[in-house]
Structure 1
Amino acid sequence: MMREHKMFSLILYVLGFLLLWEWLLPLEQVTKTSEVQYFIIFVVASLLLNFFHAPWYITWPLKTAFILFALYAIFSEDMGGVLWLSQFIGEIKVNTAMIFSREWLDLSPLYRSLLFFLLLWQITYLLRYWLMIKRKIFVFYFMTIFYIALLDTFTQYNGDHAIVRIVIIGFILLGLLFFKRVLESEKMNGQHLLLRRWVIPLASMIGFGVVIGYLSPKAAPIWPDPVPFIESKAENMGRSGISRIGYGVDDSQLGGPFLSDDRLIFTVATPTRQYWKIETKDTYTGKGWIASNQTANEAEEIPYGEERLLDDIGSNSNKIQEAMFNFEVSYSHVVRPYGFLSIEGETSGFLRYDPRLDKLTSYSSDLNEVRLPSYTIKYKPPSYSMQELKRTKGILGGADFSKLQEQYTQLPEELPERVHRLALELTGEYDNWYDKALAIENHFQTGEFSYDQTRVAVPKDGQDYVDQFLFDTKRGYCDNFSTSMVVMLRSLDIPARWVKGYAPGQYKGASGDGNRIYEITNNEAHSWVEMFFPSLGWVPFEPTKGFNNPTNIVQDEQTGSTSEAGLEEKSSETEDKQLVEKEAEEKENPDKANEKDAKAGNFYYQQWAIVGFAVILIVLLACVFIFSRNYWIPRFWIRTYRIKKEEEDFTRAYGILLKRLGSVGLKRPPGQTLRSYADDVDRHFNTTDMSQLTKRYEELTYSRNEDSSHWDYSKELWENLMKKTMNRMKKE
């Protein structure tokens, strides 16, 4: 009898494993997971421990040890065990903080694998509960079909054969469990003999149905493919919702609120404070920015280490500096300072420079884009003469300049005229381009405009992005300010373009080699303005309220005979002084730091890591209590009622016993008398305790015989039955 029971349980576990296996088979195709065998071994081991009824104080350490071993084998990269464990704990802390900051898509592969192991741990426990206690598997069966259907619809995974396998396995499981429930409820003798007789026609019917279904002609789908519709709706919802701040490539639709993000992107050691440039855009559409195809220059390849001056830097006497980048989140595009000369950090491959975007992208020798975790850039910090800046006053001459002016003064025909009128009103008293640019730049620093990342409007159909900001909302972030300044300059026939990258970052102190350390997070993602001067090239401007332009302007307007070396030294001293003053101001007035509104929540984000660990600890403790409830719940009630002697206590204890019996599969059917139910329980446990206890309960309830509830004897019967329910759970 016991042997047949074990064999039936083993069959159920095998079928349950095959059903769960269907969850693991698609992983290699739809994810980057290539070590599925560890998950399969974990599932098999967990089910075997359940089959042999291993106690929790054995299964928990074994499963935890295997998870750590598997993660180490997959992600350690031959790292020492102690060092890897330290890194593992640090990664858990960082990713837990990311969960609470809702940055779920950026979780590390190690952390995702850990979460998947924990999910499998829970599912294997639920399988045991569904198969051996509830004798119902329909919920998991339906979830499996839904899971495969989703993968088949939205990924490259082909679920045709998987669905057939699931149908076969699921129907067999449903049939076996249904018949088992019937036999147990009817308490029929020779259950295992009847079960074997039931299996043969069940398997025959399922096999016949599958063959007929497979061979039958299939009708064409009558519903259209829902995927394009769903994807289009998702895009629209994404545009109308709240995004997270950070660098992105699509700028065709600007506007809408942003959430701040304190995630570290890179750290840079450099002697100068400056903007970190990535790319530019030249075509304004009325809603955002795109890159045109007007340039005749093709993309060129630049070998690593080869010097190529990409930016006009004004004075050529500036010393060559180095910026050493270390990325926490690496990209294929290169983040560069103004005055770029060369990049080092890779022994093979090359850079591709796209003049259309003024953008550098790293490539491997096999012509694939590659993400560089670190590199060093040599550059010449630019400095611009005030005399040269104020020298440009009119339309550029020459064929090349004329073409450039046409490209970078492009505006949509639908641009409202009041934008141009405002630009004329602000700059009418000035005769040179530089002063005009300063007038527009200063216009955004007035109290009329406010920096805001949350209450930012999206232009409606037919409404211009810049016009809405300048005249309606006057509230926004860097994209609003920078785009508006570019458009206003262009309306005056002044060449200007829109630039994307990162603000200078947060100063973290000096390094041993005299460099300054800056940390750049997603909050530093920024856009600004570049304006073209014939003798100087593209010069950056900063219209966004609350930001300081780190560009070095040499004040030589009154002292034209001053040597460039002296001016450079003076400007360097000025820069150092400004930096010290800025750092002191940020400490005294943190609200005026870069991305001041985005930084206001940094403290809270840091505390979320601690809160996250506390929540995980609470969840783990809750799981321990839930998974071990069969161990502590009956013991808790036994210890509680040992010291109670009132008649109401006996009534409550009897009610608790009834609930406990129902939770272990001995539920009292509706309409059954207590005496009949007590006889069923006694037959199951091969005892008379339940009948005696029920008799005493009825005497107390109906005849009010208080002696009947005396705990000297009733307590012993009650405790015996409570302990038997514990033993029944262990056997299951």
Structure 2
Amino acid sequence: MEKCICGGEAGVNSSRGFAFILYTLGFVLLWEWLLPLEQITQTSEVHYFIIFVVVSLCLNFFQAPWFVTWPVKGAFILYALFSIFAGGLGPFPWFVHFFNEIRANAILVLSRDWLDLTPLFRSLLFFLLLWQITYLLRYWLTIKRKIFVFYLMTIFYITLLDTFTEYKADRAIVRIVIIGFTLLGLLFFKRMLEKERMSGQYQLMLRWMVPLAAMVSFGVVIGYLSPKAAPVWPDPVPFMESKAENMRGTGVSKIGYGIDDSQLGGPFINDDRVVFTVTTPARQYWKIETKDLYTGKGWVTSNQRVAPTAIQYGDKNPIDLSPSNHPVREARFEFDIVYPHVVRPYGFLSIEKDEDKTGFLRYDLNLDKISPFTIDGNEARLNKYTIYYRPASYSMKELRGINDLPKEEDYSGLKKQYTQLPETLPERVHDLARELTDEYDSWYDKARAIEKHFQTGEFSYDQTRVAIPAKDEDYVDQFLFDTKRGYCDNFSTSMVVMLRSLDIPARWVKGYAPGKYKGSAGDDYRVYEVTNNEAHSWVEVLFPTMGWVPFEPTKGFNNPTTIINDEQTGSTSVSASNEESTESIESQPDEKGSEAEETNKDVIVKELKVAKFFYKYWGAIGLAIIVISLTAVGLLLSRDRWVPRYLIWKFKKRQEESAFAEAYETLLKRFDSFGLKRKPGQTLRSYAAYIDRHFDSEEMSQLTERYEKLVYGGGKASAEWEYSRELWENLIKKTRN
């Protein structure tokens, strides 16, 4: 009988030719994963990945040891990355750049900023992924003799691409079916030959392969050419798009900043992508626009249009009426995601464009929004700009002295515009607002009372379990009395509507929360990073002599606006010294907000310490990570070589009574991990016979007989182990690759 040799490439390789066929078919199957990349992604150097797969499979085919495969694969990866990303740099400068990128991306990985990883680092990770896949492919083809899982994953992957991308997989599906069924048939027949230990396996395989390939090919051709009925199920893509459109129509929130607020409600999906980074002296809200018409479902802009005002770069245009004696400060913006609008702080004075000085801006009074345009009047998008502003501050005494608008005609129009409410608004919304504010006279105290109402335990901040109002249901009424659960849109809209029900002019504001503190920029300037998660909405109330004053009802958020407590001194003037020495009422968070802020500070401090330590010792840390990773991967990949040696060393000098039983159980586990699994209910003798057929020996049966004699006959374990150690070691050695 033909002897079966276990180890290396399949446990049993009667022919290099058969192994070559398996590797070739496996490569073609894996190739189908790489072919669509150039079409559906921005990857333009797919041939490097294909060559890497070929090299990896060739090394596996020739059973090259790890100390050969690792340097070869590593050198090819570095060569490919250099060829793709060098950009004219020499080898040494590029290697310096390469390690700097590894360091920078390691920081991003530690901070979980997956979306900001550089293309070079992503390509490196993809090469390492292919490295692991080729190893698994070898394991599936030549050791397990089973490829069904990988085949099923390939079909699923290709059909998803065909359904949801522009990739057309008609021919790919045909190729995959031919290759997959051929592989499944060959591996099944090979397992059967090994199990039955039939002679002349090579000739039998050849006789099996030809009709198998012909049968599969014939079936595929017939299926491809045959007339086909119309699909039973509709195309899912138009169905999903229509459903998504319907969801948008019923108020599902968008990720980050959007312009359509006509349908509010529904879950909010987090998005950690950075929108912009701003360097400024202090944290504050970043305003974009306002909305004035509440529909019962969301916000739109009314038809009370005023022609936009042109603004030139560098010209002083104090848009915000907010008295302050603060010195002029700067906010320097750098955008990762560019929009056709300007993000600005309160107290705006002027804007300077950091790029070319051409073009102009338009200020839309209806939206309180600034938008950039080219010199030809086309919409523009600014990557960088600097805004000069005077930080806003407000006198509490003056705020509390206001309980109505002046009787001038200009104010009557504003009051009508910003106290608008739909006729369908339930009366209980007005009743609740009146109940909360009856004891107060000034607009400011009424606004504060409503603001504080949302900080009670009745309401909770939630981004996922947020209801969408039904067709006949009001968005604010649902939140105030039914769900009491939501995010900024729910809180801010509800406060505006309640204020308007009291005849207090208020409007809904959109922009971004202050962002995450990222460090100092010198000269009292700080860097803040603002992501899509910071997209936010809040409230503004109109005070005739103070302008639009911001309020923050959303639970867990703190209003950075400065309110000067000047009632005790009797002074209504605003000064820098007063502002710095007097604590703002608005900045006083509730207990939960304070705890959240302290937690955030602790997290920031810890992150800064980690980042500082990493920057200081990045070389040693990086080298240690590389060494540990390579060692771990090496031990994992070569475990079939060193585990048997370790087990032999472990049991070599053991003489105690339990040594034989423990060694035998370890051998069973080793065979199981090697792929020679024991069937449920199978006796030890039957399993031993199966092992002996696989290795063409009688050692497992002899060892099992002695083990049963020990267990059932009550023999002396140490004596049996001394006598049986050589058999056990021979069997353990057979599991080495």
Contact 2:351–2:387 (Cα < 8 Å) also in 1: yes
Aligned to 1:136: 146
Contact 1:262 1:521 in 2 (8 A): yes
Structure 1 distance, partners of 2:250, 2:58, is 49
* 1:325 equivalent in structure 2: 333
Correspondence 1:341 to 2:350: yes
User: 2:615 is matched with which residue?
Assistant: none
Aligned to 2:236: 226
Q: Distance in 2 between matches of 1:676 and 1:544?
A: 71
1:547 maps to 2:554: no
Change (3 A) 1:635 1:251: farther
Deviation at 1:141, TM superposition (A): 0.9
Q: Does 1:499 align with 2:509?
A: yes
Sort the Cα spacing of 1:314 and 1:648 in 2 relative to 1 into closer, same or farther, 3 A. closer
1:574 aligns with 2:581: no
SS at match of 2:496: helix
Structure 1 residues 456-515: Cα deviation after superposition (integer angstroms, max 9, x where no partner): 863653443433555567676544443233213333455432112234456788654454
Q: CA deviation at 1:232?
A: 6.8
Instruction: Give yes or no for contact 2:340–2:379 (8 Å, CA) kept in 1.
Output: no
Q: Distance in 2 between matches of 1:190 and 1:511?
A: 77
Larger displacement relative to structure 2 (677-686 or 336-345)? 677-686
Matched AA of 1:577: S
C-alpha distance in structure 2 between counterparts of 1:157 and 1:239, whole Å: 30
Q: 1:265: how far off?
A: 5.9
Partner of residue 166, structure 2: 156
Change (3 A) 1:713 1:538: same
CA distance 1:97–1:69, shift in 2 (3 Å): farther
Matched, 1:393 2:400: no
How many correspondences in the alignment? 703
Q: State the alpha-carbon separation in 2 of the partners of residues 668 and 594 from structure 1.
A: 57
Aligned match of 1:441: 448
Matches within 5 A, 1:99-178: 112-113=122-123, 115-178=125-188
**Shift in Å, 1:166:** 0.8
The one of 185, 204, 215 equivalent to 1:205 is 215
Partner-residue secondary structure (3-state), 1:393: coil
Which amino acid is the alignment partner of residue 574 of structure 1? N
Who is 1:309 aligned against? 317
| Helix, strand or coil at the partner of 2:330 | strand
Question: Aligned residue for 1:89?
Answer: 103
| CA apart distance, 1:64 | 5.1
Please give the residue correspondences for 1:593-612 in structure 2 after superposition, counting only pairs within 5 Å. 593=594, 596=597, 599=600, 602=603, 606=607
Tell me the equivalent position of 1:46.
Answer: 56
CA RMSD of the aligned region, Å?
Answer: 5.3
**How many Å separate the matches in 2 of 1:107 and 1:260?**
18
Q: Is 1:458 aligned to 2:467, yes or no?
A: yes
Which residue of the partner structure matches residue 631 of structure 1?
A: 641
Deviation at 1:227, TM superposition (A): 3.7
Aligned counterpart, 1:276? 286
Following TM superposition, by how much is the alpha carbon of 1:270 offset from its aligned partner in structure 2, in angstroms?
A: 2.9
How many Å separate the matches in 2 of 1:110 and 1:244? Answer: 31
Provide the rounded CA distance (Å) in 2 between the counterparts of 1:37 and 1:135: 29
| Cα distance between partner residues in 2 of 1:4 and 1:365 | 77
Q: How far 1:144 moved relative to its partner?
A: 0.8
- Alignment partner of 1:31 is 2:31: no
Per the TM alignment, residue 706 of structure 1 is displaced from its structure 2 partner at its CA by 5.2
Moved more, 716-725 or 344-353: 344-353
Provide, for residues 338-377 of structure 1, a one-character-per-residue CA deviation record: whole Å limited to 9, x for no partner: 31522322338867757364445668999787572x4322
Q: Deviation of residue 196 (structure 1)?
A: 2.4
- Render the CA deviation track for 1:304-328: whole Å, top value 9, x for unaligned: x454737233569986532113457
Matches within 5 A, 1:55-94: 55-60=65-70, 62-63=72-73, 66-67=76-77, 80-94=94-108
- 1:125 partner amino acid: Y
Asked if residue 294 in structure 1 is aligned to residue 303 in structure 2, the reply is yes
Cα 1:637–1:361 shift into 2, 3 Å: farther
**Aligned CA distance change for structure 1 residues 684 and 87 (closer, same or farther; 3 Å):** closer
Cα 1:80/1:658, change in 2 over 3 Å? closer
Given that 2:672 and 2:678 are in contact with CA atoms closer than 8 Å, whether structure 1 keeps it comes out as: yes
Matched to 2:575, the amino acid is S
Distance across 2 between alignment mates of 1:447 and 1:296: 33
SS in 1 for 2:452: coil
Deviations 1:144-177 (A, max 9, x none): 1111112222222222121111112112212222
The separation in 1 between residues aligned to 2:311 and 2:379, in whole angstroms, is 15
- CA contact 1:46–1:63 (8 Å) conserved in 2: yes
Distance change >3 Å, CA 320–CA 419, structure 1 → 2: same
Q: Quick check: 435-444 or 384-393, which moved more?
A: 384-393
User: Structure 2 CA distance, aligned partners of 1:508 and 1:662?
Assistant: 52
Alpha-carbon contact 2:562-2:579 (below 8 Å) kept = no
Q: Which amino acid in the other structure matches residue 89 of structure 1?
A: R
Question: Given that residues 197 and 694 in structure 2 are in contact (C-alpha distance below 8 angstroms), is that contact kept between their aligned partners in structure 1?
Answer: no
TM value normalised by structure 1: 0.77
Runs of at least 5 residues in structure 1 that lack an aligned partner in the other structure:
none
When residues 548 and 171 of structure 1 are mapped into structure 2, their CA distance, relative to the original with a 3 A threshold, is closer
- Contact 1:254/1:458 (<8 A) preserved: no
Take 1:106 and 1:710, find their aligned partners in 2: how far apart are those partners? 63
Tell me how far apart the structure 2 counterparts of residues 670 and 343 of structure 1 sit (CA, whole Å): 77
Measure the CA separation in 2 of the matches of 1:350 and 1:25: 45
The 3 A distance-change label for structure 1 pair 71 and 394 is: farther
Instruction: Output the amino acid matched with 1:166.
Output: I
Q: Distance in 2 between matches of 1:708 and 1:516?
A: 74
Alpha-carbon distance in structure 2 between the residues aligned to 1:393 and 1:254: 30
Q: 1:324 to 1:181 in 2, by over 3 A?
A: same
Contact 1:136/1:174 (<8 A) preserved: yes
Residues 616/358 of structure 1: CA separation in 2 closer, same or farther (3 Å cut)? farther
How far did residue 379 of structure 1 move? 3.5
- Structure 1 residue 16: Cα displacement: 0.9
Contact 1:699 1:708 in 2 (8 A): no
What code does the residue aligned with 1:93 have?
A: I
In the alignment, structure 2 segments of 5+ residues that lack a partner are 6-12, 612-620
- Determine helix, strand or coil for the equivalent of 1:467: helix
- How far does residue 72 in structure 1 lie from its aligned partner after superposition? 6.4
Q: Comparing 156-165 with 307-316, which one deviates more in the overlay?
A: 307-316
What residue in structure 1 maps to residue 196 of structure 2?
186
Aligned-partner Cα distance in 2 for 1:457–1:220: 40
Whole-Å Cα distance in 2 between the matches of residues 336 and 463 of structure 1?
A: 35
Q: In the aligned structure 2, how far is the partner of 1:579 from the partner of 1:329?
A: 36
Alpha carbons of structure 1 residues 113 and 487: separation in structure 2 relative to 1, 3 Å? farther
**Matched AA of 1:436:** W
Output one character per residue of 1:661-707: Cα deviation in whole Å (capped at 9) or x when no partner: 56546667899998898788668657665565466556656766659
